[in-house]
Amino acid sequence: MDLHGTARHRTAREVRPRAHWVLLAVLLPTLAAALLVQGYARHMFGSTPDGAVAASGEAHAVPAEVTTGGPLIDARGGAVRTLAPAPKTVALTFDDGPDPVWTPKILDVLAAHDVHATFFVVGTQVADHPGLTRRIVDEGHEIGMHTFSHAELAAVPAWRRQLELQESQLMLNGATGTTSSLLRPPYSSTVDALDDPQWDVLREASAEGYVTVLSTLDSEDWRRPGVDEIVARSTPPDDAGAVLLMHDAGGDRSQTVAALDRLLPSLERTGVTVGSVGETTGIEGASGPAPKAQAWQGRALLVAFGASTWILRVLTAALLVAGALAVGRSVLLVVAARRHRRRSVDRWGPLLPPELCPPVTIVVPAYNESAGIEAAVRSLVASDVVVEVIVVDDGSTDGTAELAESLGLPGVRVIRQENAGKPAALNTGIAAASHDIVVMVDGDTVFEPSTVRHLLLPFTDPEVGAVSGNAKVANRGGLLGRWQHIEYVVGFNLDRRLFDLAECMPTVPGAVGAFRRSALLAVGGVSEQTLAEDTDLTMALLRDGWRVVYQEDARAWTEAPATLGALWRQRYRWCYGTLQAMWKHRGAFVQRGRAGRFGRRGLTYLTLFQVLLPLLAPVVDVFALYGLVFLDPLYVIGLWLAFLCLQLATSVYAFRLDGERLGPLWTLALQQVVYRQLMYLVVIQSVWTSFAGLRLRWQRMERHGSLEVPVASPEPEEPVRAR
């Protein structure tokens, strides 16, 4: 993975990375299709035992020869005939399998008594256990269809009835290479219980080539009444032939296994022959080899079903991981914020009066910043400490330099250079700085009068090399502005409190940060190797052994993107640049001291919560839709609301810590649905771009000049004080 972007790589302007969107467009429908298959197979599965049959309805359309005939109904070709096992014979049948626990035990009992049976299998069970299905056939037993998902055919629409029969047959074709024309509809019983809807289903099945096999004896083993009761109910009351219904799946079948082991020798002693449906009725053509095309189609379906099962397991694990990460992060942030707040009280001693503060150099890199440069420079000059303001015009074409010079403000210098990028502009300002403390501020940001003084306070500790301020969104109008405001307060500032506490601050934001000039020179200034020059610089300082801390009272007001397109470009650059910096400084994992703490704490946190969690988020959303369709929607909605409440509680706490009004939080639910998805897509594109080895150029955000010079610090709500 090349995150540094060497010269041999093309830039984003030359090649737009489209392949990942194609991949995503294929991947998400594939996941949705896999979940659809699993949802249909697993959660539309009829779980009521076959013996628990509802009362029959009207039976005016059922022919009399059917209601008084045998349990095998063959209406193929239009003519209706019924069959029954020969006298003193029992057709032994099992429903609902194959089951990995009970079917092998039943097969062992049948083998011990040299008896064959007919297994009416469910398509989803065959898909889960194709090897066991092959064993049934290999040991000479007969297989019949019991639909794909154990659906009550008379209660579902015609399209689903056809699907149930086709898919179950294909599963058998793929698993065993054979076909079967025997069908037992779930929840069927005896011929005299047939009603008109069930008869319609049997005629449809006959048109597809199926012979319906009902029962005359029900062991009721699904009730688990005890071995003696099962044996008694499975013993024919007279010498007439019978079709016995038992189960090899659907629950604990230990009583069935034990009863079968007693029943078979008991019937043999009374002269009753036990066998499969074909053996006891003489029906021909019940099974045979599947056509090659059909067998290959069945194998493909088995592979697809197996893949969807695997995908569901992976998604379930991903959902659990994502949920644990999200909840764990919220808890961790709140606990850390409370400790940080408690520690921050008088942490650096009292705020120095302005006249005792050392002078400061403020560097403003500017490229086409005419919309906001005046407000930015005027706010910096209005600082309550002595400042030197250096505006480095990086080849602007909109008169930025001329505008800054025309202000005629004291202590302001304008340096012009050819366009070389933001890192070069910052390095020019650092080289020209007259003072040891250098504040870096973007051209779209304004300071409060006391911001610089608050930034200076932590430098009383000689180990502090950089201080992160508190960036605030100034243009909070509209949903987009409110969402970014929430993100800055909750996502960025809570993170910074945690990073400060753990001594692993990965980023001093370009909007508001202060540095020791000696520390900057020690790490070679601002690097041009990544797009996130502020993150790269901060990580370099940490690896050089400097402390980087957070000052929540050093507020700066920045202009956030006003359109979705501008937001996308900004966050894409941030995210991609952060990935570059993480890759560049991955060696911190194995370092000692402050650098090692940053590597093992900071980089791990970024990997888990800013890379892995967003990558898992689309999976969570797809799974949520799956839950709404196939699971209990109230349960799914309840989980989503619980997660939203957790987010809301965390946000309220963060807003109180920052002294912010809670009004914008009414948009939090919409933010989770819309804004959050956009940020996840940004991460996906950034990760793809990183692995593709593409290099992006530094992109400037369009300015709208919405900032004003603050005349005084706003009066925030009283912040929460940890007790």
What does DSSP say about strands 437-440 and 360-366: parallel, antiparallel, or unpaired? parallel
pLDDT attached to residue 619? 75
Asked whether residue 265 falls in the same domain as residue 145, the answer is yes
In a domain, 299, yes or no: no
The pLDDT confidence band at residue 46, using thresholds 50, 70 and 90, is low
In a domain, 541, yes or no: yes
* Highest mean pLDDT of the ranges 274-288, 452-466, 623-637: 452-466
Asked whether residue 203 falls in the same domain as residue 339, the answer is no
Spatial separation of the C-alpha atoms in residues 155 and 685, rounded to whole Å: 47
Q: pLDDT at residue 18 above 70?
A: no
CA distances to 163, 428, 483, 679 from 567, in Å: 47, 28, 11, 9
Asked whether residue 286 falls in the same domain as residue 342, the answer is no
Structure tokens at 647: 């987010």
DSSP symbol at 61: T
pLDDT attached to residue 632? 76
Q: pLDDT at residue 304 above 70?
A: yes
Q: What are phi and psi of 190, to 5 degrees?
A: -105, 165
Q: Determine the angle formed by the axes of helices 633-657 and 613-630, rounding to 10 degrees.
A: 140
pLDDT attached to residue 320? 84
Signed CA dihedral, 671, 673, 676, 679: sign only: negative
Active-site residue (options: 116, 150, 247, 340):
247
| Range of lowest pLDDT (52-66, 177-191, 557-571, 592-606) | 52-66
| Mean pLDDT value across residues 318-344 | 87
Residue appearing with tokens 């090897």:
131
pLDDT attached to residue 13? 39
Domain that holds residue 565: 320-692
> Which of 249, 220, 216 has the alpha carbon at shortest distance from 47?
249
Asked whether residue 267 falls in the same domain as residue 390, the answer is no
| Cβ pair 440, 519 in contact under 8 A | no
| Cβ pair 385, 435 in contact under 8 A | no
- Determine the 3-state secondary structure of 295 from DSSP: helix
Give the domain CATH number at 136. Answer: 3.20.20.370
| Range of lowest pLDDT (141-145, 517-521, 541-545, 625-629) | 625-629
Peptide bond into 98 cis (omega under 30): yes
Mean pLDDT of the chain: 86
Asked whether residue 532 falls in the same domain as residue 452, the answer is yes
* Highest mean pLDDT of the ranges 413-427, 664-678, 698-712: 413-427
In a domain, 248, yes or no: yes
| Cβ pair 366, 396 in contact under 8 A | yes
Q: Which amino acid, one-letter code, is at 388?
A: E
CA distances to 277, 412, 536 from 523, in Å: 84, 27, 11
Q: What is the pLDDT of residues 651-666, one digit of tens each?
A: 999 999 988 999 999 9
Spatial separation of the C-alpha atoms in residues 109 and 224, rounded to whole Å: 19
| Mean pLDDT value across residues 472-499 | 90
Residue appearing with tokens 């403390």:
437
* Percent of the chain as helix, strand, coil, to the nearest 5: 50, 15, 35
Share of the chain above pLDDT 70, in %: 87
Q: Is 95 a catalytic residue?
A: yes
Spatial separation of the C-alpha atoms in residues 568 and 562, rounded to whole Å: 11
Asked whether residue 516 falls in the same domain as residue 660, the answer is yes
Asked whether residue 268 falls in the same domain as residue 329, the answer is no
Asked whether residue 277 falls in the same domain as residue 423, the answer is no
Spatial separation of the C-alpha atoms in residues 83 and 70, rounded to whole Å: 5
DSSP symbol at 218: E
Q: Which amino acid, one-letter code, is at 224?
A: R
Spatial separation of the C-alpha atoms in residues 535 and 588, rounded to whole Å: 14
In a domain, 706, yes or no: no
In a domain, 713, yes or no: no
In a domain, 700, yes or no: no
pLDDT attached to residue 34? 67
Instruction: Give 232's contacts (C-beta < 8 A, 6+ positions apart).
Output: none
In a domain, 297, yes or no: no
CA 456 to chain centre: 43
Buried b (16+ CB within 10 A) or exposed e, 683-703: bbbbbbbbeeebbbeeebbeb
Spatial separation of the C-alpha atoms in residues 213 and 200, rounded to whole Å: 15
Asked whether residue 452 falls in the same domain as residue 522, the answer is yes
Asked whether residue 272 falls in the same domain as residue 171, the answer is yes
In a domain, 431, yes or no: yes
Q: Which helix H or strand E contains 89, and what residues bound it?
A: strand 89-97
What does DSSP say about strands 360-366 and 387-394: parallel, antiparallel, or unpaired? parallel
Q: Is 247 a catalytic residue?
A: yes
| Range of lowest pLDDT (52-61, 222-231, 341-350, 454-463) | 52-61
Give the domain CATH number at 664. Answer: 3.90.550.10
Asked whether residue 355 falls in the same domain as residue 459, the answer is yes
Asked whether residue 117 falls in the same domain as residue 263, the answer is yes
DSSP symbol at 290: P
Structure tokens at 720: 């929460």
| Mean pLDDT value across residues 184-192 | 89
CA distances to 140, 249, 384, 514, 594 from 354, in Å: 96, 82, 6, 17, 32
pLDDT attached to residue 700? 52
Active-site residue (options: 95, 218, 495, 658):
95
Q: pLDDT at residue 276 above 70?
A: yes
CA 61 to chain centre: 52
Spatial separation of the C-alpha atoms in residues 156 and 152, rounded to whole Å: 7
Instruction: Give 346's contacts (C-beta < 8 A, 6+ positions apart).
Output: none
Q: Which helix H or strand E contains 21, and what residues bound it?
A: helix 19-43
Burial (CB count <10 Å: 0-12, 13-18, 19+), residue 240: middle
Q: Determine the angle formed by the axes of helices 564-584 and 676-692, rounding to 10 degrees.
A: 50
Q: Please state the domain count of the chain.
A: 2
| Cβ pair 513, 695 in contact under 8 A | no
- Determine the 3-state secondary structure of 549 from DSSP: strand
